[in-house]
Structure 1
Amino acid sequence: MLIEFSVSNYRSFRERQTFSMVATPRLSKKRNVFKPAVDGEKFPNLLKVAAIYGPNASGKSSLIHAMGIMGRLIATTPLTNDQSLPVSPFRFDPELKDKPSYFEYNFIRKGVRYNFVLGLTSERIIEEKLTSYPKGKESLLYDRKFTSGGEQYVFGVGFEGGKEVHSAWRRLTSPKALFIAQAVNNSSEELSQLKEPFGWFQTGLSIIGHDDLGTWSKASIRFLKMASDYTEELKDFLKEIDIPISSIRLDDNGDDHEEKGRSLTIQEFFAAAKKDKIILTHISGLGSAEFDFSEESGGTKNLIGFWLPWFMLRLAGGEGVLAVDELDSSLHPELVADLIVKHLDSGLDAQLIFTTHDTHLMNTKTLRRDQFWITDRDANGATNLFSIHDFEGREGEDVEKRYFEGRYFGLPLIRRR
């Protein structure tokens, strides 16, 4: 579960900005929060859902993109010397051009709280630090820093492996590689301290960019070819939102794991899914008809694309986080509201974070004031991030009305002639 995420000097983020899933005490709608199981700690409730608003180009997408930096680094094959790391510093301040971008995650995995700090430029990783809190006690695992004097590592007293293993992991870690990835991928089964936090970045935090739902839609169908028992799950999901489909047929391109004799990588899986031919059979009062996937509306494709990562949260037992940029893309406001209710009523402690322009959600009384976040850019082009709960107000007020009155900022400045 995500507790907090902070970012600085990345895209439109200049100064450090923090996004928090910690619930504010004494607000109602208890189904919107959950008590995380954390060993040895009395931890506050966390939010199940958070919605991020703001004008175009205010930093909403940049926040979701920043959250996904670890996933992109893990998925990237080892970079050569002439390849750059995927960071873009804040461009309006020339003093920050060559400074590191920083990302900090506070999260919970299997009952243990972790803090992970990552600093990097396009040329190399500058800082990488992982701290765990077993039974609430701070325990440094490792701290990697690059300074003018070179690269230095500090390993915690209780960090497993021993000096020889640590030295081997260091030698395997190039300036552009993550130490945690090299250690996990080159360690024996009994060395497990890094595997849980690494697993959270690998599978516990799913990021869906604003152009990715279409890609995920075909991946959803390909997943059902591999796990056909779940086909009815997708059909029921669509039927509940008034898209009755009786059958889903996939004619794949022959480029699958069985013919290759090995499992596909994530990148290969999505690449293969793009080439698949998919036929959906729709039902109406006059009977049924087949439609090629290319004939489906953007909204239907996006719903199918949303289903797979959301369903995977349920399969994983509800400890994961799903962050979606522009969840409302091509979707009716009532459908978006229904997706939120489905998530809140799922009975799982999974978290859904999304950006949206759909202010209808502000007035449905489904979400609390601390579940609405705003991005707004200042005169220097830098994103400020804040919760609506930071402003004075009372529970039950018309949040949408106050938003359009400019009480929370985050509105486009439209100049008319």
Structure 2
Amino acid sequence: MLIEFSVSNFLSFNEKETFSMVAGKARKYSQRIYNDKKSKLTKCKVIFGANASGKSNLVYAFQFIQKMILDGFPRGFSNKYYRLHPENKNMPSNFEIKILSGSKIFSYGFSVILATGSIIKEYLYENINSDVQKVLFERDTTNEKFSVGQYFKRQDVIEKLNNYGEDSANDVETLFLSIINKNKGKMFVDFPDLKVLRNIFEWFATRLNISFPESILTGYPYFTDSNLDEIADILSALGTGISELKIVEVPIELIKKKIPDNIFNQIVSDLEKANVRIHNDNHGSHPRVMVRSYKEFYTFEIDSDNKVTITTIEFSHENKDVYFDLNEESDGTARLLDLIEIFFKISDNRIFVIDEIDRCLHPAMTVKIIELFLEMAKKRDAQLIITTHESRLLASDILRNDEICFVSKNVQGASVMNPLEKYQLRADKKVYAALFDGTIDAIPIFDEVRLNSLLDK
């Protein structure tokens, strides 16, 4: 689970800003709080803010740290530093994330000079308590130093980690967490103490799911024959009019007309490679790839004979004899399909970060989705982090105070994170009222004099 995420010198964030899922002392809706001996965490955080306040930039920061670990520097990274201060171009951008993995708390972070694409520091610690940390590894590429800390006890494990670490001491382009997890399967078998590094990597690869308005969460993995009735039931109960779903096969020739040859060939090549790996590991499943464009998606699946089959999903409404493609459904229905995954058991132990969750949704639908997740959170340990403009979430009083956060710009134009607790509202003060009376600086500020002058012209 996510505990905290800190970022500085990235997009609209200048000084270090920390986003926290740590729960407060409130007793309201306490049954949906994760609570063990080490951590007390919220399972939902709703981020409000005016247009251009920096809400989406926080989501981009989550995406950046994930992409750096999984794929290296993402496209367009070199100008992502805080550009309102020109001197920041040559200053480090810092990212640190604190997570609960198993029964332990870990802090992982790195510093990079974005303008030059250079990693300068990287570290991984276990947090014993607020004052004590155990070092797993530290890397300083400026001084070409790598060190293993006191977390590992066996000398052969320390030597093995040092061997890889020393080779990467001057690698400014690739994170060590990435290096140690690429094609090292045998190493984790031979040195099981090092599996902690695999667990941290897998947290970013499979637990952290990030979605922007134009994207989906994790590629519709829940769309299987066994789930179709449940999906249809949820969509019907949410008032979409959908009564039934079915998976249908699509001719390959039709898909080739819609997808560029290089992408189609890459998908097939990846499936064939996955088939080899599954065959070697004696797994019975068939590799699948989800391909998505606006209001269209297809599942590519390959069997043991390397035969590729492509399927999609169709919908029926009141008349169950008539089916419609996804591109014939409303934008709102398509958006629901992007979000509905958070309700399934597959969401357990995952962290969903969703930008503009309310896009294409009726305000009442947005509130209902959050209500349903909060009810589900009593039984599951998924976390939902969203940005939204939907103030009815505050009016409905379904959120705890520690589940509400605001992003605003300071006088220098930098984004600042403001948990609701920071405003110290009176006990009788409603959050919704405070949002619109100026107590909370999270709505647009209009220059009425100038606007009237422009209208007069």
Q: TM-score range by the shorter chain?
A: 0.7 to 0.9
Structure 1 counterpart of 2:226, from 214, 229, 232: 229
Q: Does 1:124 align with 2:127?
A: no
Which structure 2 residues correspond to residues 317-336 of structure 1 after superposition, within 5 A? 318-336=348-366
Corresponding residue number in structure 1 for 2:151: 158
SS in 2 for 1:263: helix
Corresponding residue number in structure 1 for 2:307: none
Contact 1:14–1:90 (CA under 8 A) maintained in structure 2 = yes
What is the TM-score when the length of structure 2 is the normalising length? Answer: 0.79
Amino acid at match of 1:246: E
- State the alpha-carbon separation in 2 of the partners of residues 14 and 252 from structure 1: 49
- State the alpha-carbon separation in 2 of the partners of residues 200 and 324 from structure 1: 17
Corresponding residue number in structure 1 for 2:258: none
Contact 1:365–1:396 (CA under 8 A) maintained in structure 2 = no
CA separation of 1:281/1:119 partners in 2, compared to 1, >3 Å: closer, same or farther?
A: same
Q: Does 1:303 align with 2:336?
A: yes
Contact 1:87–1:121 (CA under 8 A) maintained in structure 2 = no
Corresponding residue number in structure 2 for 1:281: 315
Which structure 2 residues correspond to residues 180-191 of structure 1 after superposition, within 5 A? 180-185=177-182, 186=184, 187-189=187-189, 190=192, 191=194
- State the alpha-carbon separation in 2 of the partners of residues 68 and 77 from structure 1: 12
Corresponding residue number in structure 2 for 1:201: 204
Corresponding residue number in structure 2 for 1:178: 175
Corresponding residue number in structure 2 for 1:248: 246
What is the TM-score when the length of structure 1 is the normalising length? Answer: 0.86
Contact 1:281–1:288 (CA under 8 A) maintained in structure 2 = no
Corresponding residue number in structure 2 for 1:370: 402
Structure 2 counterpart of 1:261, from 272, 277, 282: 272
Corresponding residue number in structure 2 for 1:58: 53
- State the alpha-carbon separation in 1 of the partners of residues 160 and 34 from structure 2: 42
SS in 1 for 2:65: helix
Structure 2 counterpart of 1:348, from 354, 359, 380: 380
CA separation of 1:229/1:414 partners in 2, compared to 1, >3 Å: closer, same or farther?
A: same
Structure 2 counterpart of 1:385, from 409, 413, 417: 417
For residues 357-401 of structure 1, what are the alpha-carbon distances to aligned partners after superposition, in whole Å with 9 as ceiling and x for unaligned? 000000111101221111111222100110112112245642112
Q: CA-atom RMSD, angstroms?
A: 2.9
- State the alpha-carbon separation in 2 of the partners of residues 323 and 5 from structure 1: 12
- State the alpha-carbon separation in 2 of the partners of residues 380 and 48 from structure 1: 32
Contact 1:21–1:47 (CA under 8 A) maintained in structure 2 = yes
- State the alpha-carbon separation in 1 of the partners of residues 433 and 351 from structure 2: 30
Report the Cα offset of residue 151 of structure 1: 2.3
Contact 1:50–1:352 (CA under 8 A) maintained in structure 2 = yes
Q: Which runs of 5+ in 1 are unaligned?
A: none
Of all paired residues, the percent bearing the same amino acid is 25
Report the Cα offset of residue 46 of structure 1: 0.9
SS in 1 for 2:373: helix
Amino acid at match of 1:196: N
Q: Which runs of 5+ in 2 are unaligned?
A: 253-263, 278-287, 299-310, 453-457
For residues 82-135 of structure 1, what are the alpha-carbon distances to aligned partners after superposition, in whole Å with 9 as ceiling and x for unaligned? x87567100100111121211111110111100111211231111111001369
For residues 311-353 of structure 1, what are the alpha-carbon distances to aligned partners after superposition, in whole Å with 9 as ceiling and x for unaligned? 56x326x322111000011111221122112212221121100
CA separation of 1:224/1:152 partners in 2, compared to 1, >3 Å: closer, same or farther?
A: same
State which drifts further: 175-184 or 273-282.
273-282
SS in 1 for 2:144: strand
SS in 2 for 1:303: helix
Report the Cα offset of residue 48 of structure 1: 1.3
CA separation of 1:249/1:111 partners in 2, compared to 1, >3 Å: closer, same or farther?
A: same
Report the Cα offset of residue 282 of structure 1: 2.4
Which structure 2 residues correspond to residues 41-120 of structure 1 after superposition, within 5 A? 42-76=37-71, 85=77, 88-120=80-112
